[in-house]
Structure 1
């Protein structure tokens, strides 16, 4: 039994296909993994890795009572082969490289109860029709095939335009990838050229080919080898001219290289600070808002829709992915947030501990609030009463105290 048998039950594999599922566009509903080198270039891989690494720190949570038992599974081991960080990291990587990523539910033997999730990387995917319903049929690089109902699968996309179901791919990056490749080859050739021919010598007489070869070897051994530590080159009348060749291979200059890097940064939504882990809280918050949060929102929606029925969704059941962004904040910001939100009952003790990356404490889920806070329209009441009876009683007491004081003075 292989991995495909673990992921796809036999019921989902053995189906009679009636043809392609008809879409609204003229494109056949077929998706093929990108065969280019977008993940083989150093800079593009670094950009994808930075996004996937930070996204892998998202925490899955299940809201509502349906499938609540899956929460710990999602938080620790979504499938028997990977933990949560690897699960999210691979999804983010596949999505960045192929602009389409598939999530397959893992079922119990009844083929109804979900017990886990698996990120799929097929070589080819097509939407086919089975009994009038759309199915996804996958073909893997080892030649194996499997199929599953379309509504059971989660599909993440980006750059979705031409196709009704899949992303449009990363063909827009091809010119930049070509420039990166040419730059790399140019540097390699430059190094090779600098280690090759450095001098040109013209003989003053005609020699046989074998004699020219021997003379070249002798000249090199006498003048260009490490044995010549004088720094002086000497040659006799056999040579009418010896000239040094100044090889200047073309290499993209710093400004042009910066432009190529900027193209990659713009396309993947990263910057140099993110790639080199030099970001501060403002830089990370901007990266989170623009890159990680949209991914977290889409991932939560996709997994919610593939897990819960319409009725369960209507009752507030959903899967969401959250991130403690304050772990990247300065200590000053953490302190301000902790104190301001804790004494107002917004955060409990353990949530404050999370901000400081500290372990939870016993009874840490209790919330506290400062007692001097009150609603504006209840300020007088809290100070001693705002009803007529309270005011009347307060006046009697003040009158009695005044009379007592007066009598004491007269005596």
Structure 2
């Protein structure tokens, strides 16, 4: 495996020009602020990335008869276990979605050798220009934080976008939330400063003796050092008859809980999540709404982009795709699980091992499907209704319904 720095090579010998697009120029520049340093914004992004990193990416082949099968096992291992020597599949997806919500753009380089995908690498850049050659091929001119620049074919870059509006290639910058993040930071600083100043001393010192300007300045600095600095944790100043100290009442500005909650809600709304998702106190309905509004959209975007960048158009036309499953995310509490099993198991919808997996229990050696005798296949029901109507098929079907359910849900007596 080549080193990471060797993967990004500038393609020499090709003539390129800036990619002409409508709207905003085809240029990405990382958000000038640092929203990730704010605890509220980071907690929201982390909640989304932690959940979305559970996606299960699987190469599949869909046949013309509607059936499907898993594709290349080697590619499946890259997508599900180790996309590159530096990280796991969870790490790759976590970083990809973190970059997406921080910058509204995220990049993953698809490294190929001999036409086969051998690695997937997240690319963290500070700037990107798009160019195209005379043949119409698009390239990404990445500039990294260390100032180094690399060129990659856009065909080999998995590019997820958020707030995709004013440009043809890039998602819009995160400037819209800059004021909200700044407000949250000011609130944090205000609380910190209020705590610091609450135990400090403020007042006016009146010296009863006449002093020179230099001596007065020296006495003032000594008083400030001894009593007004943050090191004076006692909050008491001792004076003699040579001076008079008049304290000034301090009323530090405090931030109400309502104001803090409003700022949190502003940031969380921008990210599309609720506070219950961040602190993991969500109900079934709350997680269901989050799953439908955020998770399913991310899964669809991921599935489409991975498919079109990993496979060629001919392979896609032949039925190959990357399936992005959210099965590892679906949340349901124990009471609802029992309710689901009470309905699904008797109908034969799920197997015993599927039921055990739903309850978090180990599987049995020989999986099987069980079903209540109160349920029958649609074909048997049709035949049974014809049999009950006595339409001449009695002699040929009479043996098929021994033990079959009656309309009232009970079983026939085979000896009757």
Q: Same fold (TM over 0.5)?
A: yes
- Is the Cα contact below 8 Å between 2:107 and 2:123 reproduced in 1? yes
Q: Distance in 1 between matches of 2:35 and 2:29?
A: 15
Q: Distance in 2 between matches of 1:393 and 1:207?
A: 122
Q: Please, which moves more after superposition, 193-202 or 278-287?
A: 193-202
Please state whether the residue corresponding to 1:96 is helix, strand or coil. Answer: helix
User: Could you tell me the TM-score, scaled by structure 2's length?
Assistant: 0.80
CA RMSD of aligned residues (A): 3.4
2:264 matched residue in structure 1: 261
Aligned residues: 381
Q: Distance in 1 between matches of 2:226 and 2:313?
A: 84
Give the 3 Å change call, closer, same or farther, for CA 40–215 of structure 1 in structure 2.
closer
- Is the Cα contact below 8 Å between 2:54 and 2:329 reproduced in 1? no
Q: Does 1:47 align with 2:44?
A: yes
Q: Distance in 2 between matches of 1:36 and 1:126?
A: 20
Q: Deviations over 1:267-300 (max 9, x none)?
A: 0122222222222222222221121221111111
- Is the Cα contact below 8 Å between 2:205 and 2:246 reproduced in 1? yes
Please state whether the residue corresponding to 2:107 is helix, strand or coil. Answer: strand
Q: Does 1:4 align with 2:2?
A: no
Structure ranking higher in helix proportion: 1
Aligned pairs (5 A) from 1:68-217: 68-108=73-113, 110=114, 112-132=115-135, 133-208=137-212, 210=215
Q: Distance in 1 between matches of 2:122 and 2:220?
A: 66
2:336 matched residue in structure 1: 333
Q: Distance in 2 between matches of 1:99 and 1:62?
A: 26
Once superposed, which parts of structure 1, at least 4 consecutive aligned residues long, lie more than 4 Å away? Answer: 211-222, 231-239, 391-394
Residue 245 of structure 1 is aligned with which of 240, 248, 257? Answer: 248
Aligned-pair CA distance for 1:68? 4.7
Q: Distance in 1 between matches of 2:75 and 2:293?
A: 29
Aligned-pair CA distance for 1:3? 1.2
Q: Distance in 2 between matches of 1:373 and 1:367?
A: 14
Q: Distance in 1 between matches of 2:250 and 2:124?
A: 47
Give the 3 Å change call, closer, same or farther, for CA 140–235 of structure 1 in structure 2.
closer
Q: What stretches of structure 1 of length at least 5 have no aligned partner?
A: 395-411
Give the 3 Å change call, closer, same or farther, for CA 350–286 of structure 1 in structure 2.
same
Aligned-pair CA distance for 1:327? 5.9
- Is the Cα contact below 8 Å between 2:126 and 2:144 reproduced in 1? yes
Give the 3 Å change call, closer, same or farther, for CA 360–58 of structure 1 in structure 2.
farther
Aligned-pair CA distance for 1:205? 4.2
2:60 matched residue in structure 1: 63
Q: What stretches of structure 2 of length at least 5 have no aligned partner?
A: 62-68, 399-416
Q: Distance in 2 between matches of 1:148 and 1:255?
A: 48
Q: Distance in 2 between matches of 1:382 and 1:83?
A: 60
Q: Deviations over 1:190-214 (max 9, x none)?
A: 3343344334343444344537855
Give the 3 Å change call, closer, same or farther, for CA 83–389 of structure 1 in structure 2.
closer
Q: Please, which moves more after superposition, 372-381 or 37-46?
A: 372-381
2:361 matched residue in structure 1: 358
User: Could you tell me the TM-score, scaled by structure 1's length?
Assistant: 0.81
Q: Deviations over 1:302-338 (max 9, x none)?
A: 1011122334333432212222367632112112223
Aligned-pair CA distance for 1:237? 5.5
Aligned pairs (5 A) from 1:27-46: 27-46=24-43
1:295 matched residue in structure 2: 298
Larger Rg, first or second structure (1 or 2) = 1
Q: Distance in 2 between matches of 1:232 and 1:294?
A: 60
Q: Distance in 2 between matches of 1:285 and 1:382?
A: 45
Q: Deviations over 1:82-124 (max 9, x none)?
A: 101101100110000010111221212x1x1112322211222
- Is the Cα contact below 8 Å between 1:198 and 1:244 reproduced in 2? yes
Q: Deviations over 1:141-182 (max 9, x none)?
A: 223332232223221001011110110010001111221232
Aligned-pair CA distance for 1:54? 1.3
Q: Please, which moves more after superposition, 64-73 or 40-49?
A: 64-73
